[in-house]
Amino acid sequence: MKKSFSITLLFLCIGLFSCKDSIDKPNVDVQKIKGENILVENEIHNNPEIDKFIEPYKTSIEDEMNKVLSYSPQSMFKNDTPYNTAIGNMMADAIFELANPVFQKRYKESLDGVLINHGGIRAGINEGEITTRTAYNIMPFENMVVIAKLKGEYILEMFDYLSRSKKAHPISNMTIEVDEDWNLVSYTINGEKVNKEKTYYISTSDFLVNGGDNMNFFQKADTIYQIDYKMRNLFIDYFDKNDTIKATSDDRFKKL
């Protein structure tokens, strides 16, 4: 019985190695490759059963997106004015107003300023009702509000970046002045000159602290604090809190 089993096992092994050789070195030559076009219909036909199933969810989402949160007495767009804009100021100020209490409660510290990027404003706000959809339009990304702990020397790099960018990057609780050649003339945080020896807390987005828009100074932060607040949700809360949005451009960033 053992002999028979051994012989059987021997033939199985030979067969396996033979199969492996035939797979590794197939004796088959490709003679012809044939292809054909498969037409895709222009119309995708609705499935009534699926439509019926999703209708309640679709209606619920539409109702939520169209919910009126606030009112804007004017239209606001990110290119309305060259150095700072009403919509950009509103967004930066909203972050300072709503993120600061969360930061204070969680980490026992206070914000010194806010910086977000001009390119991150993806739509404007028309005169009239502001809805949940408005918040999704201006901030369609899943960006999170974060706080960067920066030494004064890197705050100077931040202001240098702002002067060289020649863009209306939204800021809050900070001011910057540049001359005709975009050289820095003055800059403040909390109404005071920047102290190189001091540490500052700047709120921004997770996109920017990771080097987005080449804001590499954020990557020099001692600590990045998370407050678990999406920027879009913050704007929804801000609109819901304020029945009328009275935003304007001002002198927080100006060219002399």
Does residue 13 surpass a pLDDT of 60?
A: no
Percent of the chain surpassing pLDDT 90: 75
Does residue 176 surpass a pLDDT of 50?
A: yes
Decide which of 46 and 155 is more confident.
Answer: 155
Which tokens sit at 192? 């005071």
Give the pLDDT mean for 53-67. Answer: 82
Predicted confidence band of residue 47 (pLDDT cuts 50, 70, 90) = confident
pLDDT digit string (tens) for 178-226? 999 999 999 999 999 999 999 999 999 999 999 999 999 999 999 999 9
**Which range has the worst mean pLDDT, 37-46, 153-162, 240-249?**
37-46
Predicted confidence band of residue 17 (pLDDT cuts 50, 70, 90) = very low
Q: Whole-model pTM?
A: 0.79
Round the average pLDDT of the chain to a whole number and report it: 88
Instruction: Give the CATH superfamily of 62-247.
Output: 5'-Nucleotidase, C-terminal domain (3.90.780.10)
In this structure, what DSSP letter does residue 40 have? -
Instruction: Return the pLDDT at 9.
Output: 40
Three-state DSSP state, 94: helix
Angle separating helix axes 231-241 and 86-107, nearest 10 degrees:
100
Query: How many angstroms separate the CA atoms of 230 and 223, rounded?
Result: 19
In this structure, what DSSP letter does residue 76 have? B
Does residue 40 surpass a pLDDT of 60?
A: yes
Residue with tokens 């309305």: 80
Helix residue ranges per DSSP H, 111-244: 132-138, 152-165, 206-209, 231-241
Give the pLDDT mean for 76-99. Answer: 97
> Closest Cα partner for 138 from 228, 220, 238?
238
CA 94 from chain center: how many Å? 16
Instruction: Return the pLDDT at 32.
Output: 73
Does residue 94 surpass a pLDDT of 50?
A: yes
Decide which of 188 and 30 is more confident.
Answer: 188
Does residue 170 surpass a pLDDT of 80?
A: yes
Instruction: Return the pLDDT at 96.
Output: 98
